[in-house]
A and B are shown apart, each in its own frame.
Chain A
């Protein structure tokens, strides 16, 4: 196959056979309870230097509790999948956890610009859908996927994509490298202790991220009985055997929304944006993360039950968000 053009950037290594071997040796096919605390899950399954994918983002059914735990445990040198993000990249970079980001979309600001200028952050250019297609390729066990977008952009030059002559049609086609992250962190509405997980509403790439990643941490608003999963198997978005940890995390997407469960906490959303804009992530972390052993303590100390209940009451739409 003739390569017509290729991006010049480093990309996370592609190794489908290595991934298969990892799956063979490490993914537990037995029905075993994986219920644990956020602290244990992040401690056991997020390592310095990992490539990390989060699904959705800090404001929209994202794994916000897990991201705060990653910051609390001072993980370092993460390479993150910065698609469909507002503040996630800024928080992880500003907190010193991440040094590389593949960009689909993430909110800019002083926290990002300063990190790039000071050499604390290297950005690689893609688009949101190109990133979810890279995860799709990873989730299919393939080395790459052809895509009909992305060609001709300047982002292409700063990516791992290649433009080739399609051997079937003879026309030019862009290939993007598969992505098999080291770890995925995904927040869902419901899961059982084994990791059978239900996402209600739309999503970004929760299924692809879970299937494509070596280690998978699920946080869930509710832990439900496996009998309930068996009663309606069509609602299972992620099957247990790719999941390594299940964390019970009520308000795990705070300050974001969680469809059917609670609305967003607008003042806290704006405060997070401001931390990125002002390059004041350190202050944000010192307020919301480091003083506390976990999110439950933080909620008790800073937010309070009344405010959380108000967020629940704000989420009036239930259609489609219950089994």
Chain B
């Protein structure tokens, strides 16, 4: 079966970059998935917002984004001060409309949000997201922030793209706590039986190493890997074995054009993209990962 997410992935624009980190790779990959003329509900700040903004500048000038505080289609004044990603004048700058949280929630409930992009702490094979507690709930679990806006994004946007790290502890068989819904138990109609709108749900997962889609049976499927890792290396960082596509594609590395926008216009302070993340070097033929 052909993969829609791979077919939709745009060719990278520009000259292949020679040095970048894996977070930048992940953002560039998501940016190339962004559809022109569609709406994206993202958290203010963070990789999903940078991916959409990069896409708007390079690939999909008519894509729009919305944040949880009811900012519709802003042209933000970057960079933001730390955590001032919503209800701030820079984040909401030159928007087409300002509302409140119920504006964003209701617009998504109406079906106006084509895509949600979510950064996730822990995600499972059905695309269920945990941002509430690691460990056994009510039995000494370490508490995290809670679903925030992610529950509404995952429930109400037509398609949800998840971003997470390719690590066994984050990419698990079953999340410890479902904060935001994927395909729940994976059975047919599980979301509808839980009262969620039909025709919604996880669409793809992008890690710095790989891209996944979901089969018609709602099973996670590996469809592409980064040029510096093998399928085996990716599978070794999954707590459970996903389906592997017959023809696993190789993702393109970032280009100088993409990185230039990302580093000089979107995140000049490196608040998001310079976080600890392995560096990759490209010598014109081979990509090499500098571990540690």
Which residues of B in the span 141-171 have a Cβ within 8 Å of any Cβ on A? 142-152, 155-156
Q: Which of B86, B132, B144, B149 contacts A154 (CB 8 A)?
A: B132
Per-residue contact bits, chain A 160-174, to B (CB 8 Å; 1 contact, 0 not): 000100000001111
In the complex, A261→B154 CA distance in Å?
35
Which listed segment binds A: B89-97, B209-217, B223-231, B243-251? B89-97
**B178, CB-defined interface residue at 8 Å:** yes
The answer to whether A172 and B69 have CB atoms under 8 Å apart is no
Chain A residues near B179 (CB, 8 Å)? 127, 153-155
In the complex, A244→B166 CA distance in Å?
52
Residue ID in chain B nearest A146 by CB atoms? B195
Residue ID in chain A nearest B104 by CB atoms? A129
The answer to whether A132 and B180 have CB atoms under 8 Å apart is no
In the complex, A147→B71 CA distance in Å?
21
Which listed segment binds A: B22-30, B47-55, B75-83, B272-280? B75-83
Residue ID in chain B nearest A101 by CB atoms? B146
Chain A residues near B1 (CB, 8 Å)? none
Given A60-B88, A155-B132, A202-B100, A116-B143 contact (CB < 8 Å):
yes
Given A113-B143, A133-B102, A155-B147, A202-B87 contact (CB < 8 Å):
yes
In the complex, A10→B155 CA distance in Å?
24
Chain B residues near A158 (CB, 8 Å)? 137
Kindly provide the distance from the CB of B132 to the nearest chain A CB, expressed in whole angstroms: 7
Chain A residues near B86 (CB, 8 Å)? 60, 84, 202
User: How many A-B contacts are there with CB distance less than 8 Å?
Assistant: 198
Chain B residues near A172 (CB, 8 Å)? 192-195
In the complex, A323→B291 CA distance in Å?
55
**B197, CB-defined interface residue at 8 Å:** yes
**A229, CB-defined interface residue at 8 Å:** no
In the complex, A123→B104 CA distance in Å?
25
The answer to whether A129 and B84 have CB atoms under 8 Å apart is no
**A231, CB-defined interface residue at 8 Å:** no
Per-residue contact bits, chain B 88-127, to A (CB 8 Å; 1 contact, 0 not): 1110111000111110110001000000000000000000
**A72, CB-defined interface residue at 8 Å:** no
**A56, CB-defined interface residue at 8 Å:** yes
Q: Which of B92, B140, B146, B149 contacts A202 (CB 8 A)?
A: B92
In the complex, A269→B83 CA distance in Å?
9
Interface of B is mostly: loop
**B191, CB-defined interface residue at 8 Å:** yes
**A222, CB-defined interface residue at 8 Å:** no
In the complex, A320→B192 CA distance in Å?
41
**B31, CB-defined interface residue at 8 Å:** no
Q: Which of A105, A151, A202 contacts B70 (CB 8 A)?
A: A202
**A180, CB-defined interface residue at 8 Å:** no
**B184, CB-defined interface residue at 8 Å:** yes
**B68, CB-defined interface residue at 8 Å:** yes
Kindly provide the distance from the CB of A243 to the nearest chain B CB, expressed in whole angstroms: 18
- A-B contacts, 12 of them at CB < 8 A, read A84-B68, A84-B86, A129-B152, A148-B109, A149-B151, A151-B196, A154-B132, A154-B179, A204-B69, A205-B102, A266-B81, A320-B89
Residues of B at the A interface (CB closer than 8 Å) are: 68-71, 77, 81-84, 86-90, 92-94, 98-102, 104-105, 109, 132, 137, 140, 142-152, 155-156, 177-181, 184, 190-197
Residues of A at the B interface (CB closer than 8 Å) are: 56, 59-61, 82-84, 86, 103-108, 112-113, 116-117, 123, 125, 127-130, 132-133, 136, 147-155, 158, 163, 171-174, 201-208, 257, 259-260, 263-264, 266, 269-270, 315, 317, 319-321
Known: A129-B152, A132-B101, A204-B100. 19 other contacts (CB 8 A): A84-B69, A105-B145, A105-B149, A117-B140, A123-B143, A127-B148, A127-B151, A128-B101, A132-B105, A148-B155, A150-B155, A151-B155, A154-B177, A155-B132, A171-B192, A202-B71, A259-B92, A263-B81, A319-B94
The 10 closest A-B CB pairs, nearest first, are: A152-B194, A105-B148, A151-B194, A149-B155, A151-B195, A127-B151, A129-B105, A60-B87, A317-B89, A202-B69
